[in-house]
Amino acid sequence: MPRVTCAVARHRRIKRVLKNAKGYRGGRRRYRNARETYYRALRFAFAGRKRRKRDFRQLWITRINAALSSYGVSYSQFIGALHHMQVVLNRKILAEMAINDPKSFAKLVESAKQNLPGKK
């Protein structure tokens, strides 16, 4: 029975890793080091794609909160009032409204003020 070496598959794998490790510094252009660094970079990239969603949501909340400070309403009260009113605008759209369309945002804040859950 012939000996199986997986030569073609191994060469392809090595070429793929070295191609993707292009630009790495020092000994990381050698296959063994490049492989570790490349797979580590893939893990960072995966985590970064998840992280980006968190970061943007945090940014939108900060922008909404900053816009609400001039109206005397806290962010949590505002979001609670929107849920109470059954307004389905996500935080991205609210942040865009606060920056680009302050008049409609002001109307939304005033209507939310009248519909605060604790007020009757």
The answer to whether residue 95 is domain-embedded is: yes
Give residue 65's pLDDT: 96
Let me know: does 99 contact 91? Beta carbons within 8 Å: no
Provide the pLDDT for residue 29. 87
What is the separation of C-alpha 29 from the centre of its chain, rounded to a whole number of angstroms?
31
Domain-embedded: residue 120:
no
Range of the domain at 20: 7-114
The answer to whether position 98 is within a domain reads yes
Instruction: Judge whether 1 lies within some domain.
Output: no
Mean pLDDT per 10-residue segment, the chain (120 residues):
87 95 90 94 97 98 96 93 92 96 95 78
pLDDT of residue 27: 87
Look at residue 36 and tell me if it is in a domain.
yes
C-alpha pair distances (Å), 13 with each of 3, 6, 35, 52, 56: 20, 11, 10, 30, 36
CATH number at residue 89: 1.10.1900.20
Q: Is residue 2 part of a domain?
A: no
Structurally, how many domains does the chain consist of? 1
Q: Is residue 82 part of a domain?
A: yes
- pLDDT for 59 equals 98
Place of tokens 């505002």: 78
